[in-house]
């Protein structure tokens, strides 16, 4: 009896396989076959009904086999359908055709570069500070130790702004002149009116110089100012930070060179040069054959400026630095004319 | 300032090359901008030795001459017949410019490359002989510049120095010599304090009275009288030196004053004494006083210059005869007939000189030096040197001692420098002795302060170092002599603390990013514009630039839009459509404060030749909606008046969308329709709420149905939706699917309704019921008609 049932089961299984193998198995046919063989009233279940007469052990043996055949058949059905799908979805197309892009715009190269610089400074724990563009001469010059009658004032060609209803407004003589800030340095003073050391801050912003424009000079341009004040801050710290930042921006290979220089708001004052990234110091037109590029003005915050910030120069010291961002992007992107920055020419802007 | 190396060698022995010196100067703070050779009329012409002469393979009359240039042999194609091997000849290298103006290049002559040219006397401007090559004496050294062999010109190297304004003492050859001595650790040669003028028996001292009215403005005035003046040309050596540093030789007297100024840094001026004298008096008076309102003077350059209080003038006792420290007057100018002169060497108050030259627009070499302050002992030294030169050149007879009118000299005060402060500032570890040794190289005296057990130095700078006043200045001297590049970089040791986040900065960047990805390009424009742009915003009261570069840049921008329009116009010459924006600062006069109000605006323009205003508007509005959604700024209402639409949240005005008017199209040369947007980013920033709140997902399926209506022309979408949603239950939201206008100007709207119940699965019949009531309501209230119903 047992062998009869087993034979029957095997036979049904063979039939089923034969049917699965015939032609392409679409979803509907699969369902039909499932019902026919595996369904509640299907062929395999019919055989189960005959098992009632079998002994317990025989029933168990047949049961195991029947279940195995059932799951095998399910597998076969599944695979057959999959096989069918595979061949049906082979579609030919030209994979080398350009992608259809949604129209996107562009960010100004200065915006992008500033963002890169800000990211570097953020990792070094610098706070980003911004402030006003029209300044009094007090903040733009006097508080930065640039006295009115000092020849150093000629280092900045300045735009002056007419003050409306001057008489009504001027209460103390100190703030009698308005200028478009010639550097981001007044923000150092403004920032320190609301902060106490230790501070580490970086100031991006637009500045103005009254000069004739050409391929390397603009009246509007961007500067980046930095200020660090803490106990025991030294030139050695300044060199470390500035070298680190330039390496992050231009690659680990860059070297820096410190030259003594003069800015009234720092003492000692420095110019920081970076090894030419164009020629790698072999000498080229960008570095005028010197192998070095002028990158930053820097120095230790002048004690007078610290006092103007209400910081005790005997307890604290600090360094400050500034760089022209327009020049950096020119270098970085190989732009030969600074005026393109303000041209609004989309053929230029869309390249970045 | 230009520096002649030959001149510098008067002061110091140099055993390093010009380029090494330039490097050392640059690294110690005297930036060398360029190095130039000068004084050589035969640049790139050297002595060559003929090694071998071969025939030219293609030309009978030409020869191939192998010439040794001192470094290698080069082939020169030559047609002369007087040459033979072993001769020394002038060899013009490629790049040489001959007196005729011919520039020598590497050239191919009948198929043979010639790397230069052998020259005849005529070609060198040395005579008419052009029949053969100029054969040089055999002792001429191969490779040596021709000028040296001929003894013409004087080879010199000229540095262009970029001096910093704090180092007035460096505006002279002697000043640079001191620097070079310090950085090369040598001593300078010329000792000027030993310069003595021979006292004359018949002194004319009594001839001149000096009256300084305000000693603050002129703490020291020195004069020297020279008789028997013979005006003539200066000798070649003097002219060459002046020319090397960019000063045009004029005559012996003027040249000597310029020479002394360049050498020592003390400007001198020569007056014709006879022209100072009034009314044939025996003695003359030289006065120094502040200028008076209404006064004027004709200066040496022939210009009539108005003087004003604050300037200082030199007078003949009454009338101005020179603008002190800036330029002399024409009335007392030294001329061919001058017999007696007064040489002036003075010290003026630097700020007064600054005021004079700035207001007169006359930044002379003298003014540049006076404004930085003159070393106290310099006037006498300069007059002594000038007197000596005048005698040497037989230009006149020194006829007086140096006449001096001066305030007492101020004793130098010591700067207290703590050794640990200096090291802390530099990040170094110098001992007191090391510091003292370095300072001595700069003629800076230092000694341990008595009170502080050797940890403090009393430092006394020399009189010419007016820039050294505080301990940090001394630290700089140590740093620059040591070379900053030898300092070992050190990371900052600090408490770890989170920097405060700058929200507005980040928001600005985020806004720019969003706009970029929905198709907008960022532009930067100037912060100022002209009359045309200002007319875009009449009556707002633009702030004005007092000294604009041009009238087109006279106003500070009150809005970003005018210049955005300019850029839009420019771009539309090439493009069909544009989407541009700028995020920047605008400036408004503040009524009760000097400083203007500065606001951050986000503005832009959209145009598309293929789209009408209605379509453009919907697209722009959609773009702004994305921006506002990203920032979580909600509940914005749009209110149209005439040609603009205000964006409001409650009473907060966020900004405007504006249709470009016809008048503006003309001004900005724009032909097509354009929409502008102008948003107060400061306000938007304050409303940003990026923390999005989660809404529970619906538990039951929704039903979607579209309805099309014909709505009256004046019915606003906002009011329509309000009516639909008022009192409606089970409407989750309504979207606009389609809008168009029929020929009779009535408007068709297709809306998509999403029905959703919070408590059950909605059945078709229920939705029908809601739909019916919506329709009935709209028909009743607004006279809406159903389409395809």
pLDDT at B202: 61
**Residue B418 touches chain A, beta carbons under 8 Å:** no
List B residues 117-176 in contact with A (Cβ-Cβ < 8 A): 164-167
pLDDT more than 70, % of chain B = 97
pLDDT at A87: 60
Give the end-to-end CA distance of chain B in Å, rounded to a whole number: 91
Q: Is the pLDDT of residue A173 over 60?
A: no
Closest chain A C-alpha to B585 CA, distance in angstroms: 8
Equal fold, B205-406 vs B703-786: no
Specify whether A266 is catalytic. yes
| CATH number of the structural domain B415-486 | 3.30.56.10
Judge whether A278 and A297 are in contact, CB under 8 Å: no
Chain B positions in Cβ-Cβ contact with residue A201 (cut-off 8 Å): 499
Closest CA in chain B for residue A259: B27
The topology (CATH level 3) of B45-150 is OB fold (Dihydrolipoamide Acetyltransferase, E2P) (2.40.50)
Rounded CA separation B265/B370 (Å): 9
Q: Is the pLDDT of residue B713 over 90?
A: no
| CATH number of the structural domain B703-786 | 3.30.70.380
pLDDT at B197: 64
Rounded CA separation B581/B385 (Å): 66
**Average pLDDT score, chain A:** 88
Closest CA in chain A for residue B500: A127
Identify the CA nearest to B365 among candidates B17, B50, B632, B2: B2
Report CA B612 to chain centroid distance, whole Å.
47
Q: B631: which 2 tokens?
A: 């920032």
C-alpha angle with apex B257: B251 to B261, nearest 5 degrees?
Answer: 135
pLDDT category, A24, cuts 50, 70, 90?
confident
pLDDT at A60: 83
Chain A positions in Cβ-Cβ contact with residue B29 (cut-off 8 Å): 259-262
Specify whether A64 is catalytic. no
Rounded CA separation B399/B341 (Å): 10
**Average pLDDT score, chain B:** 90
Q: Does domain B2-39+156-190 match CATH 3.30.1330.10?
A: no
Cα-Cα-Cα-Cα torsion B43, B46, B52, B54, nearest 10 degrees, comes to 20
**Residue B579 touches chain A, beta carbons under 8 Å:** yes
Closest CA in chain B for residue A108: B522
Q: Which of A183, A270, A302, A327 is catalytic?
A: A183
Closest chain A C-alpha to B268 CA, distance in angstroms: 21
pLDDT at A129: 96
CB contact under 8 A, A169 and B589: no
**Residue B486 touches chain A, beta carbons under 8 Å:** no
Closest CA in chain A for residue B504: A130
Closest chain A C-alpha to B547 CA, distance in angstroms: 6
* Section B343-352 average pLDDT: 94
- H helix or E strand, kind and range, residue B288: strand B284-290
pLDDT at B758: 86
Closest chain A C-alpha to B123 CA, distance in angstroms: 33
| CATH number of the structural domain B503-687 | 3.30.930.10
* Section B416-431 average pLDDT: 95
* In chain A, domain spans: 2-88, 109-349
**Residue A315 touches chain B, beta carbons under 8 Å:** no
**Residue A101 touches chain B, beta carbons under 8 Å:** no
Closest chain A C-alpha to B425 CA, distance in angstroms: 5
Who among B512, B546, B595 is closest to A111 (CB)?
B512
Residues contacting B106, CB < 8 A, separation 6+: B94, B113, B114, B115, B116
Give tens-digit pLDDT for B308-337.
988 999 999 889 999 999 999 999 999 888
Who among A107, A126, A264 is closest to B516 (CB)?
A107
Q: Is the pLDDT of residue B154 over 90?
A: no
Q: Is the pLDDT of residue B586 over 60?
A: yes
Specify whether A108 is catalytic. no
pLDDT at A171: 62
* Selected residue of A162, A184, A205, A297 to mutate for chain B interface (largest B Cβ count, 10 A): A162
* Section B177-198 average pLDDT: 78
pLDDT at A85: 67
Q: Does domain B205-406 match CATH 3.30.430.20?
A: no
pLDDT at B201: 59
**Residue B497 touches chain A, beta carbons under 8 Å:** yes
Rounded CA separation B347/A5 (Å): 129
* Selected residue of B217, B420, B438, B499 to mutate for chain A interface (largest A Cβ count, 10 A): B499
pLDDT at A18: 85
Q: B737: which 2 tokens?
A: 């699917």
Rounded CA separation B681/B600 (Å): 5
Rounded CA separation B521/A105 (Å): 4
* In chain B, domain spans: 2-39+156-190, 45-150, 205-406, 415-486, 503-687, 703-786
Residues contacting B393, CB < 8 A, separation 6+: B234, B235, B238, B252, B256
Give tens-digit pLDDT for B735-752.
999 988 888 778 899 999
Give tens-digit pLDDT for B368-404.
999 999 999 999 999 999 999 999 899 998 888 888 9
Specify whether A183 is catalytic. yes
Q: The complex's ipTM? A: 0.83
pLDDT at A33: 83
pLDDT at B411: 83
CA distances to A237, B623, B650, B717, B718 from B636, in Å: 50, 14, 8, 14, 12
Q: Which class is A109-349 in CATH?
A: alpha beta
Rounded CA separation B231/B253 (Å): 7
**Regarding predicted confidence, which is higher, B232 or A286?**
B232
pLDDT category, A172, cuts 50, 70, 90?
low
**Residue B545 touches chain A, beta carbons under 8 Å:** yes
- H helix or E strand, kind and range, residue B708: strand B703-711
SS3 call for B469: coil
Residues contacting A52, CB < 8 A, separation 6+: none
Q: Is the pLDDT of residue B277 over 80?
A: no
Give tens-digit pLDDT for B612-633.
999 999 999 999 999 999 999 9
CA distances to A96, A312, B270, B404 from B273, in Å: 92, 57, 9, 17
Q: B687-705: b or e for each residue (b if 16 or more CB lie within 10 Å)?
A: bbeeeeeeeeeeeeeebee
Q: Which of A47, A298, A311, A320 is catalytic?
A: A320
Judge whether B514 and B679 are in contact, CB under 8 Å: no
Judge whether B577 and B608 are in contact, CB under 8 Å: yes
Specify whether A156 is catalytic. yes
Q: Is the pLDDT of residue A305 over 90?
A: yes
CB contact under 8 A, B519 and A110: no
Which residue(s) pair with B786 in the sheet?
B709
3-state secondary structure string across chain A: CHHHHHHHHHHHHHHHHHHHHCCCCCHHHHHHHHHHHHCCCCHHHHHHHHHHHCCHHHHHHHHHHHHHHHHHHHHHHHHHHHHHHHHHCCCCCCCCCCCCCCCCCECCHHHHHHHHHHHHHHHCCCEECCCCCEEEHHHHCHHHCCCCCCHHHHHCCCCEECCCCHHHHCCCHHHCCEEECCCCCHHHHHHHCCCCCCEEEEEEEEEECCCCCECCECCEEEEEEEEEEECCCCHHHHHHHHHHHHHHHHCCCCCEEEEEECCCCEEEEEEEEEECCCCCCCCCCCCCCCCEEEEEEEEEECHHHHHHCCCCCCCCEEEEEEEEHHHHHHHHHCCCCHHHHHCCCHHHHCCC
pLDDT category, B232, cuts 50, 70, 90?
very high
pLDDT at B193: 53
* Section A40-49 average pLDDT: 79
């Amino acid at each position: 009896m047992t062998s009869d049932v087993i034979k029957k089961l095997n036979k049904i299984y063979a039939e089923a396989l034969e049917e699965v193998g015939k032609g392409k198995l679409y979803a509907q046919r699969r369902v039909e076959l499932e019902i026919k063989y595996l369904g509640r009233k299907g062929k395999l279940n019919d055989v189960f009904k005959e098992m009632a007469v079998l002994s317990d052990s025989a029933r168990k043996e047949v049961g195991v086999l029947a279940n195995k055949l059932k799951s095998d058949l399910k597998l076969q059905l599944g695979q057959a359908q999959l096989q069918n799908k595979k061949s049906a979805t082979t579609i030919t197309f030209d994979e080398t055709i350009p992608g259809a892009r949604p129209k996107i715009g562009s960010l100004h190269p200065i915006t992008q570069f500033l963002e890169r610089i800000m990211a570097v400074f953020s990792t070094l724990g610098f706070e980003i500070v911004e402030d006003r563009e029209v300044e009094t001469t007090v903040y733009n010059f006097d508080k930065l130790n640039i006295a009115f009658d000092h020849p150093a004032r000629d280092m900045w060609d300045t735009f002056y702004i007419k003050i409306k209803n001057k008489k009504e407004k001027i209460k103390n003589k100190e703030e009698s002149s308005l200028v478009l800030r010639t550097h981001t340095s007044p923000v150092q003073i403004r920032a320190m009116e609301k902060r106490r050391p230790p501070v580490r801050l970086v100031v991006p912003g637009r500045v103005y110089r009254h000069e004739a424009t050409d391929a390397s000079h603009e009246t509007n341009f961007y500067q980046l100012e930095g200020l660090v004040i803490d106990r025991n801050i030294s030139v050695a710290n300044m060199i470390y930070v500035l070298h680190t930042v330039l390496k992050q921006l231009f690659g680990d290979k860059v070297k820096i060179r410190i030259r003594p220089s003069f800015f009234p708001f720092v003492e000692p004052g420095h110019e920081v040069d970076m090894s030419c990234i164009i020629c790698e110091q072999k000498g080229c037109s960008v570095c005028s054959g010197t192998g070095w590029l002028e990158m930053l003005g820097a120095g230790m915050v002048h004690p007078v400026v610290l006092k103007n910030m209400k910081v005790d120069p005997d307890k604290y010291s600090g360094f400050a630095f500034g760089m022209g961002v327009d020049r950096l992007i020119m270098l970085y992107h190989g732009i030969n004319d600074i005026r393109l920055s303000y041209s609004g020419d989309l053929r230029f802007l869309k390249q970045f | 300032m230009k520096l002649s190396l030959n001149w510098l060698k008067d002061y110091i022995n140099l055993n390093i090359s010009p380029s090494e010196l330039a490097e050392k100067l640059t690294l110690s703070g005297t930036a060398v901008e360029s190095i130039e050779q000068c004084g050589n009329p035969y640049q790139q012409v050297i002595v060559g030795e003929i090694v071998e002469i071969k025939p030219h393979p293609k030309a009978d009359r030409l020869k191939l001459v192998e010439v040794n240039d001192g470094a290698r042999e080069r082939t020169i194609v030559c047609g002369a017949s007087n040459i033979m091997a072993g001769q020394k000849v002038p060899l013009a290298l490629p790049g040489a410019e001959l007196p005729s103006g011919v520039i020598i290049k590497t050239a191919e002559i009948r198929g043979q490359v010639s790397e230069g040219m052998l020259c005849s006397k005529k070609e060198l401007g040395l005579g008419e002989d052009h029949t053969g090559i100029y054969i040089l004496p055999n002792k001429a050294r191969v490779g040596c510049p021709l000028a040296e062999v001929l003894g013409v010109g004087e080879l010199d190297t000229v540095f262009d120095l970029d001096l910093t304004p704090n180092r007035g003492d460096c505006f002279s050859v002697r000043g640079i010599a001191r620097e070079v001595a310090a950085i090369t650790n040598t001593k300078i040669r010329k000792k000027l304090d030993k310069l003595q003028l021979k006292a004359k028996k018949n002194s004319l001292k009594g001839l001149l009275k000096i009256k300084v009215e305000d000693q603050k403005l002129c703490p020291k005035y020195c004069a020297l009288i020279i008789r028997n003046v013979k005006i003539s040309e200066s000798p070649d050596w003097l002219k060459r030196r002046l020319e090397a540093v960019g000063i045009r030789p004029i005559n012996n007297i003027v040249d000597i004053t310029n020479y002394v100024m360049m050498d020592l840094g003390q400007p001198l001026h020569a007056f014709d004494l006879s022209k100072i004298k009034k009314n044939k008096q025996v003695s003359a008076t030289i006065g120094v006083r502040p200028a008076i309102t209404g006064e004027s003077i004709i200066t040496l350059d022939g210009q009539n210059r108005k003087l004003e209080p604050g300037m200082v003038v030199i007078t003949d006792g009454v009338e101005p005869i020179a603008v002190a420290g800036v330029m002399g007057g024409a009335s007392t100018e030294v001329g061919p007939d001058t017999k007696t002169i007064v040489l002036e060497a003075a010290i003026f108050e630097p700020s007064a000189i600054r005021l004079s030259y700035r207001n007169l627009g006359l930044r002379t070499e003298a003014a540049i030096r006076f404004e930085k302050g003159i070393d106290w002992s310099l006037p006498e030294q300069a007059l002594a040197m000038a007197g000596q030169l005048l005698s040497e050149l037989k230009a006149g007879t020194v006829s007086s001692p140096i006449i001096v009118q001066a305030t007492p000299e101020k004793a130098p005060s010591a700067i207290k420098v703590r050794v640990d402060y200096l090291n802390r500032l530099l990040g170094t570890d110098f001992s007191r002795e090391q510091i003292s040794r370095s300072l001595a190289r700069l003629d800076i005296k230092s000694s341990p302060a008595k009170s502080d057990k050797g940890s403090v130095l009393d430092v006394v700078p020399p009189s010419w170092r007016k820039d050294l006043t505080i301990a940090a200045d001394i630290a700089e001297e140590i740093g620059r002599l040591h070379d900053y590049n030898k300092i070992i970089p050190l990371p900052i040791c600090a408490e770890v603390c989170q920097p405060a986040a700058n929200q507005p900065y980040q928001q600005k960047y985020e806004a720019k990013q969003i706009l970029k990805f929905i198709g907008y390009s960022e532009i930067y424009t100037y912060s100022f514009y002209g009359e045309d742009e200002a007319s875009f915003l009449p009556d707002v009261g633009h702030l004005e630039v007092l000294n604009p570069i041009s009238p087109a840049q006279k106003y500070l921008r009150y809005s970003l839009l005018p210049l955005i329009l300019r850029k839009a116009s420019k771009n539309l010459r090439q493009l069909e459509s544009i989407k541009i924006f700028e995020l920047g600062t605008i400036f408004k006069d503040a009524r009760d404060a000097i400083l203007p109000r500065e606001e951050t605006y986000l503005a832009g323009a959209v145009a598309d030749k293929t789209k009408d205003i209605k379509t453009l508007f919907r697209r722009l509005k959609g773009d702004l909606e994305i921006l506002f959604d990203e920032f979580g700024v909600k509940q914005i209402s749009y209110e149209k008046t005439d040609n603009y639409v205000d964006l409001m949240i409650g009473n907060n005005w966020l900004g405007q969308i504006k249709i470009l008017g016809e008048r503006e199209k003309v001004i900005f040369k724009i032909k097509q329709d354009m929409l502008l947007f102008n948003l107060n980013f400061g306000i938007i920033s304050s409303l940003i709420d990026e923390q999005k709140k989660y809404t529970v997902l619906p538990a039951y399926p929704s039903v979607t149905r579209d309805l099309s209506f014909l709505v009256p022309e004046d019915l606003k979408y906002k009011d329509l939706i309000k009516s639909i949603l008022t009192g409606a239950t089970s409407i989750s939201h309504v979207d606009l699917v389609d809008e168009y206008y029929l020929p009779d100007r009535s408007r068709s709207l297709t809306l998509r309704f999403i029905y959703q119940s919070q408590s059950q699965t909605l059945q078709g019949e229920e939705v029908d019921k809601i739909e019916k009531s919506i329709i009935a309501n709209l028909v009743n209230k607004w006279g809406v008609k159903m389409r395809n119903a």
